[in-house]
């Protein structure tokens, strides 16, 4: 079973920041938080991941709370093309472990 | 840099037939994973290769599924004989460190 809980769906106005929350209260000390998204039925697309520090890349920012029990993915200026299902996944740093996908959050960016 | 590629993109076969799916990982990635999503369900892990060795095949549903990765490059996933419940989208992913990069998937329809 997935170790994360996310809202089922969210809406965001085009051009505004999209803030997607994720709870992972049972996260272990060596587990990372990963975010992926799936647009239509394409393959999941890697967005960002982090351990305990906030992370930023060209796609998004990841804010992890100090106790690491929750995190927020931020898309700073959402566009229509960001409409997708977003998955928050907790996984150990060992590359040998597989991802456990939950149902994710369906983000709809509205014009 | 080329991403993960999968072939075919779609396959329609009849129950009892055999189908072979192919995955070409990102060049240099030792880790290769197979996942699938059946209708209405979440993406589920099938198995993981490290180079040519099966590291974890705990997600393989039954012995009708056979995965190989000869030479540690591309991988094939054979379903023989196919059943109706095998219909879904099969994703392949590869990684060198912790983030996994997914291919576009193969949509398998068993009639």
Query: How far is the C-alpha of B56 from the C-alpha of A31, rounded, in Å?
Result: 19
A61-83: b (≥16 Cβ within 10 Å) or e: bbbbeeebebbbbbbeebeeebb
Residue B74: the pLDDT is 96
Residue of B nearest to A35 (CA): B99
Q: Quote the minimal CA–CA distance from B1 to chain A in Å.
A: 15
Residue B70: the pLDDT is 86
Token pair listed for A83: 């409409």
Q: Quote the minimal CA–CA distance from B102 to chain A in Å.
A: 6
Residue B98: the pLDDT is 80
- CB-based contact, A53 to chain B, within 8 Å: no
Beta carbon pairs, A and B, within 8 Å: 57
- Cross-chain Cβ contact A43/B102 below 8 Å: yes
* Residue numbers in B near A103 (CB within 8 A): 42
Query: How far is the C-alpha of B5 from the C-alpha of B67, rounded, in Å?
Result: 16
Average pLDDT over residues B10-18: 97
What does the pLDDT profile of chain A (111 residues) look like in tens digits?
Answer: 678 999 999 999 999 999 999 999 989 888 899 999 999 889 999 999 999 989 999 999 999 999 999 999 999 999 999 999 999 999 876 656 788 899 999 999 999
Q: What is the DSSP string of A46-78?
A: EEEEESSS-EE-SS-EEEE-TTSSEEEEEETT-
Interface test with B, best of A41, A91, A95 (most B CBs within 10 A): A95
Residue of A nearest to B36 (CA): A43
Nearest to A108 by CA among A35, A24, A37: A37
Indicate the average pLDDT of chain B. 94
Token pair listed for B83: 């059943």
pLDDT tens-place string over residues B20-47: 999 999 999 999 999 999 988 999 999 9
Residue A94: the pLDDT is 60
Q: Residues A96, B31: contact at Cβ < 8 Å?
A: yes
* Residue numbers in A near B43 (CB within 8 A): 44, 99, 101
Sign of the alpha-carbon dihedral angle for B60, A98, A103, B92? negative
Query: How far is the C-alpha of B33 from the C-alpha of A83, rounded, in Å?
Result: 26
pLDDT tens-place string over residues B67-106: 999 888 999 999 999 999 999 999 999 998 888 999 999 9
- Cross-chain Cβ contact B56/A96 below 8 Å: yes
């Amino acid at each position: 079973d997935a170790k994360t809980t996310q809202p089922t769906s969210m809406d965001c106005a085009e051009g505004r920041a999209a803030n997607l929350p994720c709870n992972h209260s049972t996260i272990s000390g060596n587990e990372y938080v990963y975010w992926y998204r799936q647009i239509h039925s394409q393959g999941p697309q890697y967005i960002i991941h982090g351990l305990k520090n906030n992370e930023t890349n060209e796609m998004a920012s990841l804010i992890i709370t100090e106790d690491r029990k929750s995190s927020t993915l931020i898309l700073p200026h959402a566009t229509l093309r960001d409409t997708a299902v977003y998955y928050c996944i907790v996984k150990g740093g060992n590359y040998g472990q597989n991802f456990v996908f939950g149902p994710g959050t369906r983000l709809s960016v509205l014009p | 840099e080329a991403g993960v590629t999968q072939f075919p993109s779609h396959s329609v076969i009849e129950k009892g037939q055999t189908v072979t799916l192919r995955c070409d990982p990102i060049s240099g990635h030792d880790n290769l994973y197979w996942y699938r999503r059946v209708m209405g369900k979440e993406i589920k892990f099938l198995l993981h290769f490290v180079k040519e060795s099966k590291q974890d095949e705990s997600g393989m549903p039954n012995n009708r599924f056979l995965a190989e990765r000869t030479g540690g490059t591309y991988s094939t996933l054979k379903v023989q004989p196919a059943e109706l419940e095998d219909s879904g989208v099969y994703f392949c992913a590869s990684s060198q460190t912790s983030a996994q990069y997914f291919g576009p998937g193969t949509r398998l329809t068993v009639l």
